[in-house]
Amino acid sequence: MTLWLDGAYLDPADASVNVADRGFLLGDGLFETMRFEAGVLRRWARHEKRLTNGLDALGVAADLPSDIPALAADLASRNGLDRAVIRLTVTRGSGGRGLDGMSGTKPCVLMTAGALPERSAPALVLVNAPRRAPLTLAAHFKMIGYGDNVFARREARAKGGDMAVMLSPDGHVACADSANLFWVTGRTVFTPSRDTGALNGTTRAAILDECARRNLHIEEDALRPESLASAEAVLVTNALWGVMLAASLDGRTLKREHALVRLIQAIESEAE
């Protein structure tokens, strides 16, 4: 395996991050996980915008590579991958202890490439905690601190599922632990609004933008668990899988065929 760290291609055994790095100590940084396929870093423009906005919000002045899609293609090739998961991680770097830290720190930039996992329809399980809070930075950007999501996944696994469905502080459906949610009931497609603390994932945003362009309505609102519980089919969406049907929700088998599901899948495949 080869990775890219601060301008150099390295074997993982030869790569190191300072133990005083604030990303390691405090989660002071961001990441983007992207799909590389058919020579393309999919939806890089959306990932770049979210990453840049996040770095601005954190006040991290990172010197990012000028052509990240080309770097991703080269890194995938060096690892013998035609289809890859590309993760770009940026931290504030090392310098000073505590919350204030030290000015003038040099950010750390890391890119890795791994094999793109096969799709497997997940069994969804609703968990009561932790909750997604809409005003946190984690509701807007991919913050390094993913402890809540890891805990939620463990809760789902303990209940025999594959992926957790997380709620907002006031009990509305927010998202899955590593994906956004859409569901179909009758002739309506639903998705939780951003007010629930759901991250505006790049795939979610692309689907909503393309539906708006086609004048297709998706019900985007603060929705109670009862709405999800009555769904005929549930879709999980993220940058790696695009759109994937869930197999079940809290033990109830979900439909795998539906005209609106096929429509959303087609829209996602065409959306930029």
Position 102 pLDDT exceeds 80: no
Nearest residue to 91 via CA among 65, 58, 114: 58
Taking the CB of residue 66, how many other CB atoms lie within 10 A of it?
A: 7
What confidence category does residue 118 fall into, taking pLDDT thresholds of 50, 70 and 90? confident
List, by residue range, all CATH 3.30.470.10 domains of the chain: 3-115
pLDDT > 70? residue 169? yes
Looking at the predicted structure, is the pLDDT value of residue 4 above 90? yes
Q: 265 CB contacts (<8 Å, ≥6 apart)?
A: 242, 243
Q: What is the pLDDT of residue 40?
A: 97
Q: What confidence score (pLDDT) does residue 101 get?
A: 74
Rounded Cα distance between 271 and 211, Å, is 9
Position 119 confidence tier, pLDDT thresholds 50, 70, 90: confident
Tell me which residue has tokens 């080869």: 2
Who's near 168: CB < 8 A, 6+ residues apart? 131, 132, 133, 134, 174, 192, 195, 196, 197, 222
When pLDDT is averaged across residues 173-202 and rounded to a whole number, the result is 97
SS (H, E, C) 252-265: EECCCCCHHHHHHH
Q: Where in the chain is the domain with CATH 3.20.10.10?
A: 123-270
Q: Residue 7: what are its φ and ψ, rounded to 5°?
A: 95, 0
Residue 92: name the closest of 30, 154, 36, 29 by CA.
Answer: 29
Query: What average pLDDT does the chain have?
Result: 96
Q: Model confidence over 175-185: pLDDT tens digits?
A: 999 999 999 99
Q: What are the tens digits of pLDDT across the range 211-269?
A: 999 999 999 999 999 999 999 999 999 999 999 999 999 999 999 889 999 999 999 99
Cα 69 from Cα 66, distance rounded (Å)? 9
pLDDT value at residue 99: 86
Which contiguous run of DSSP H or E holds residue 10? strand 8-10
pLDDT-wise least confident of 38-47, 92-101, 204-213: 92-101
Q: What confidence score (pLDDT) does residue 95 get?
A: 80
Q: Around Cβ 52, how many Cβ atoms within 10 Å?
A: 13
Q: How confident is the model at residue 104 (pLDDT cuts 50, 70, 90)?
A: low
Class of domain 3-115: alpha beta
| Amino acid, single-letter form, for residue 73 | A
Provide the pLDDT for residue 105: 81
pLDDT in tens, 72-84: 999 999 999 999 9
pTM: 0.95
What's the CATH superfamily of 123-270?
D-amino Acid Aminotransferase, subunit A, domain 2 (3.20.10.10)
Residue 214 in tokens? 């086609």
- Given 3-state DSSP classes, what are the helix, strand and coil percentages for the chain, each rounded to the nearest 5? 30, 30, 40
Give the Cα separation of 141 and 29 in Å (integer): 10
pLDDT of 186 > 90? The answer is yes
SS (H, E, C) 113-167: EEECCCCCCCEEEECCCCCCCCCCHHHCCCECCCHHHHHHHHHHHHCCCCEEEEE
Per-residue pLDDT band at 172 (split at 50, 70, 90)? very high
Give residue 14's identity as a one-letter amino acid code.
D
The token duo for 187 is 């002739």
pLDDT interval class at 61 (50, 70, 90): very high
Per-residue confidence band for 30, with pLDDT thresholds at 50, 70 and 90: very high
Residue 85 has pLDDT above 70, yes or no: yes
Task: Tell me the average pLDDT across 111-140.
Answer: 95
